Chain A
Amino acid sequence: MGFLKKLVNWSRLKSPWILHFNTGACNACDIEIIAALTPRYDLERFGVQLKGTPRHVDILVCSGPITRQTADRVIRIYEQMPEPKLVVAIGSCATSGGIFDGCYNVEHGIDSVIPVAAYIPGCPASPKAIIDGIVKLLKSMEEKEKSS
């Protein structure tokens, strides 16, 4: 049992598939996320693949503050993902609401509706910061599993 559990944990760290969802960003963070997935930065080195459907993915990558329109949708997408699942908030707006915080149509950051595992600040967060954030998230998961 111990070996199987180790194998499963290892495979989860080595193959994080992501889904990108814009929760109301100004598109700057989205462009940087797309840039991180291009051959220039090559996220497939870490096993990261961009998928189209929430059923296939492990990590939901959100950019932008939660607007009242997207709040229901992001919860629905989160619930469509199979366990175990993680959420990464990319950009200042996604982490806290950013400059949009307090607007009549905006709730706060992503964590006001769904649990978030990693915050990557920046306006916009650069591709290097995004890659660094995801690798750090995977490393912290690895350490957590080792200690437990």
Chain B
Amino acid sequence: MLKALFNILIFPGFLFLIIFGLAAEFYDRKIYARFQNRVGPPWFQPFADFVKLVAKENIIPEQADAYVFKLVPVFALTSVVTAFFYIPLWKTGALYSFNGDMIVVLYLLTIPTVALFLAGWYSCSVYSTLGAMRSLTQLFAYEIPLLTSILASALLANTWSLSKITVFYSLHPGLWAFNLLGFIISVVTLMGKLEKGPFDIPEAETEIVAGSLTEYSGKLLALFRLTIDIEMIVGASLLAAVFLPFGLTLHPAIGFILFLLKVLLIVSIISLFRTVLARLRIDQMVNFCWKYIAPLAFLQVLINLIVKWTLVR
């Protein structure tokens, strides 16, 4: 009981995720600044932003549904933190696991997007409604390729449990190389999920002010920003567990450092593409995902089926 509480609240739960999430946001912003030949923010910047927002006045618009408006960020934060417990981090096997937890994790990671939609919709402002519609449209574009590419990896391992996937790839070293295409696809779709890089269409600040979060201020905005930071960590560690499953059987300390490095690698890729690519339009994004990314994801499934029939048997 005490151990479970420790796991949930401190390590590798809430507190660890907050610290790691804020650190990853700093890392992302710093290398984004360095790519643009700037100095960039100091190391405490995300923490200072968070504390400042928490201490600010909380405005709830008169027309907004106050109940949903206040509930939705908490809901989003809880779901991403919950998803983290089912992902194997630095050893084979997660803290908690059951058969089919892969689907649960993917659904829990969808909830922040749905929360953003609800937040925008119940703000009853034109900009936030537009942002809400865009984030939902975008969800339909990236969710299928992401699920398919992760499913391809699971097909090869012949299980729907993330912990058993890591066990399988640790027993068959080298097989993860067949999932490289899936890794690229899922990084692209993760950028869509996090609304970063060329896919920041729902919060396009030059078009629709701040998207769904236009009416949010103070504590609730701080919670949403924290949710997006933690979602980045959880998404990156999901990809690290499924597509980069090496070093999991080593000593836990080495495995932990490897885990941090893997997550930072994925964050670096996301920041790189955020710097070099301009924002797409929503129709271009949907076209791109359905014309190129989704067929490639199905190709990955085909590759894995062939590998399964020829090599793994």
Interface residues of chain A, those whose CB is within 8 Å of chain B, are 7-8, 10-12, 14-15, 39, 42, 44-45, 47, 51-53, 55-56, 58, 80, 82-84
Contacts and interface: CB of A to CB of B under 8 A. Distances in A.
Nearest to B205: A52
B42 A7 contact: no
A53 B126 CA distance: 13
A80 B123 CA distance: 14
Contacts of B209: 52-53
A11 B48 contact: yes
B57 A83 contact: yes
B51 interface: yes
Contacts of B210: 51-53, 56
Contact of A14 (B37, B39, B44, B218): B44
B214 A55 contact: yes
Contact of A42 (B38, B51, B55): B38
A45 B55 contact: no
A52 B205 CA distance: 6
Contacts of B221: 55-56
Contact of B39 (A45, A52, A58, A82): A45
Interface in B15-53: 29, 33, 36-42, 44-45, 47-52
Given A11-B48, A52-B210, A44 B41 contact: yes
Contacts of B172: none
A58 B51 CA distance: 13
Given A11-B48, A53-B210, A82 B205 contact: no
Contact of A44 (B33, B50, B57, B127): B33
Interface residues of B, number: 34
- 3 A-B pairs with the lowest CB-CB distances in the bound complex, closest first: A82-B57, A11-B51, A14-B48
29 contacts: A7-B51, A8-B51, A8-B55, A10-B48, A11-B47, A11-B48, A11-B51, A12-B55, A14-B42, A14-B48, A15-B45, A15-B52, A39-B37, A42-B33, A42-B38, A42-B40, A44-B41, A47-B41, A47-B49, A52-B206, A52-B209, A53-B215, A55-B216, A55-B217, A56-B213, A58-B56, A82-B57, A83-B56, A84-B57
B287 interface: no
Best-surrounded residue of B58, B216, B217, B221 (most CB of chain A within 10 A): B217
Contacts of B218: 82
B254 to A, nearest CB: 35
Given A42-B33, A55-B216, A15 B49 contact: yes
Contacts of B206: 52
B250 interface: no
A51 B225 CA distance: 14
B170 to A, nearest CB: 42
B306 interface: no
A45 B48 CA distance: 13
B4 interface: no
B59 interface: yes
Nearest to A80: B59
A138 to B, nearest CB: 12
A11 B205 contact: no
Contacts of B39: 42, 44-45
Contacts of B52: 8, 11-12, 14-15, 58
